[in-house]
Structure 1
Amino acid sequence: MTNLKIGGVPEHFNYPWYTTLKNKEYNKQNINLRWQDYPGGTGAMCKALRNGEVDIAIVLTEGIIKDIAAGNPSKIVQTFVQSPLIWGIHVGAKSTFKNSKDLEHATIAISRFGSGSHLMAIVNAYNQGWDISKLKFKVIGNLQGGIDALTNGEADYFMWEHFTTKPLVDNGTFRRIADCPTPWPCFVIAVRNEVLENNFNEVKKVLDIINNETKDFKKTKNIDKILAERYEQQLEDIQEWLKITEWNAGKPITKNIITRTQNKMVQFNVIDEKKNSSSFIKNMYI
């Protein structure tokens, strides 16, 4: 039995992993795949990949590209969710800010530097025409940290996935003043280089299983009700999310996608320079 550790955010995007683990599909292939939730998001998972806490991670495209460019010894093996991620821009319920243009000099809550909440705050600032060098950040760790920082006034706004934070908007904890979609596919699967060298076939089996699950995931009976209940979401919100979310059922990631994403990231001053796109990816489908 091969032991592999995998990490991801505890959000509805990753429910297909929960299903395949519950059904012991990896065990049937002689793989003991153990899941670890990372509420801190992509920044926390990049760190976990670097220090060997996880072997595989479901991470935001922009975060892992930035971290591999900075020396993370991992490769992207495929896109997991090919549709953009919709980032809500949130302020505290009692905040005086009314729209995103008011936020130019405000303090931004981010889970950690290099995380999606950090990088997308830069993308949003670029879209607004602000001076990115003057952005002010407050590191808060995770979603609960964001709630605390906006409630007690340590930060002014916080960007997190629109549907995950919708219950907090509904209950009056946050006010969402705008959305900012990613200009690239949102989630990819990254694997440590050492694991790819030693367990290539096992990683390929893991991908085959999850891709088979996501291929017809939206057709699962009552999936909207299941997800709404599990993630404490309104049924209509989950139905809307399912409409706009597309998984990638096994197509290899292309150098073109990495190049286009790097071009955007250089434009947004998120990375200093482009690197050879083939150095970011491992093709599992040769």
Structure 2
Amino acid sequence: MKKIKIAGVPEHFNLPWQLCIENGEFESKNIDLQWTDVPEGTGKMSQMLRNGETDIAIILSEGIIKDILAGNDCSIVQVYVESPLIWGIHVDAKSNFKTLSDLQNKKAAISRLGSGSHLMSFVNAQNQGWKTDNLQFEIVNTIDGAVEALATGKADYFMWERFMTKPLVDKGVFRKIADCPTPWPCFVIAVRNEFLEKNAKEVDEILKIINNTSIEFKEIPSIDRTLASRYHLQIEDIQQWLSLTDWSQKKLNKKTFDKIQNQLFDLNIIDKKSTFETIVK
């Protein structure tokens, strides 16, 4: 049995992986796929790929492209979720911030540098016509850290996936004042190059298994109830999320790659570019 380490956020997007593991689909192909939940998100998973703590990561497109350009020896082997990630822009429910314009020159809570919450703060600032040089950040690691930072005034706003954060909005902890969708597919599958070179056959098998599940995921009986129960979300929120979410079974195309890389470059998040063929395998 080939032991392979994989990491992803403990969120509803990754239920297809959990179902395949629970159903023994990887084991049936002699693969011991060991999943690690990473609530800190993309910045942490990039570090894990660099350190060899994981072989594969289900990771945000913009975050891993940035980190590969910064020296992370990985490749993107496939798009996992084709639809955008809808980032909710949240403030403490008791704060005086009412509109997005109130947050100009205010401090963003981010999980870590290079994370989606960090990079999307730049995208949001560009969308609003704010100077990105003026952005300020407070590193909070997790959603719990963001709750504390906003409550104590260490940070003013927090961007996180809208549906996963909604229970905090429903409880009156956060107030959502706007949405900021990614201008590209949100999740890709990244693999360490050293691992990929030695285990290409196993990686192909893993992709076949997850794609067979993701392509039919929405048709699984009562999948909305399963998701709501596992991730402690309201069924109507899950149903809305399912209607907005599309999984992918295809490779990242050059047009989309160029769009992400060019926007990161325009925002001064990266200071050099690479070729499509270098990063996408």
* Same fold? TM cut 0.5: yes
Q: Structure 2 matches for 1:154-233, cutoff 5 A?
A: 154-233=154-233
SS at match of 2:243: helix
Q: Structure 2 matches for 1:104-183, cutoff 5 A?
A: 104-183=104-183
Query: Could you list the per-position Cα deviations for residues 153-203 of structure 1 after superposition, in whole angstroms to 9, with x for gaps in the alignment?
Result: 111000000000010000001000000000010000000001111100001
Deviation of 1:142 (Å): 1.1
Deviation of 1:260 (Å): 1.5
* Structure 2 CA distance for aligned equivalents of residues 61 and 258 of structure 1: 9
Identify unmatched segments of 5+ residues in structure 2: none
Q: Residues 7 and 57 of structure 2 are in contact (CA less than 8 Å); yes or no, is this contact kept in structure 1?
A: yes
Q: Residues 50 and 73 of structure 2 are in contact (CA less than 8 Å); yes or no, is this contact kept in structure 1?
A: yes
Determine the structure 1 residue equivalent to 2:38: 38
2:266 matches 1:267: yes
Residue type of the partner of 1:260?
K
* Structure 2 CA distance for aligned equivalents of residues 279 and 172 of structure 1: 46
Query: Could you list the per-position Cα deviations for residues 39-91 of structure 1 after superposition, in whole angstroms to 9, with x for gaps in the alignment?
Result: 00000000000000000000000000000000001000000000000000000
Query: Could you list the per-position Cα deviations for residues 95-115 of structure 1 after superposition, in whole angstroms to 9, with x for gaps in the alignment?
Result: 100011110111110000000
TM-score in terms of structure 2 length: 0.99
Determine the structure 1 residue equivalent to 2:256: 257
SS at match of 2:255: helix
Determine the structure 1 residue equivalent to 2:80: 80
SS at match of 1:163: helix
SS at match of 2:232: coil
Segments of 4+ moved more than 3 angstroms = none
Q: Structure 2 matches for 1:64-75, cutoff 5 A?
A: 64-75=64-75
Deviation of 1:271 (Å): 1.6
Percent same amino acid at aligned positions? 57
Query: Could you list the per-position Cα deviations for residues 244-265 of structure 1 after superposition, in whole angstroms to 9, with x for gaps in the alignment?
Result: 100002x222222211211122
* Structure 1 CA distance for aligned equivalents of residues 180 and 272 of structure 2: 24
- Which is further off, 215-224 or 256-265? 256-265
Q: Residues 86 and 179 of structure 2 are in contact (CA less than 8 Å); yes or no, is this contact kept in structure 1?
A: yes
Q: Residues 41 and 115 of structure 2 are in contact (CA less than 8 Å); yes or no, is this contact kept in structure 1?
A: yes
Deviation of 1:152 (Å): 1.4
TM-score in terms of structure 1 length: 0.97
* Structure 2 CA distance for aligned equivalents of residues 205 and 77 of structure 1: 12
- Report the count of equivalent residues: 281
* Structure 2 CA distance for aligned equivalents of residues 30 and 99 of structure 1: 53
For the aligned residues, what is the CA RMSD? 0.8
* Structure 1 CA distance for aligned equivalents of residues 272 and 104 of structure 2: 26
* Structure 1 CA distance for aligned equivalents of residues 218 and 142 of structure 2: 28
* Structure 2 CA distance for aligned equivalents of residues 261 and 110 of structure 1: 20
2:240 matches 1:240: yes
SS at match of 1:164: helix
SS at match of 1:155: coil
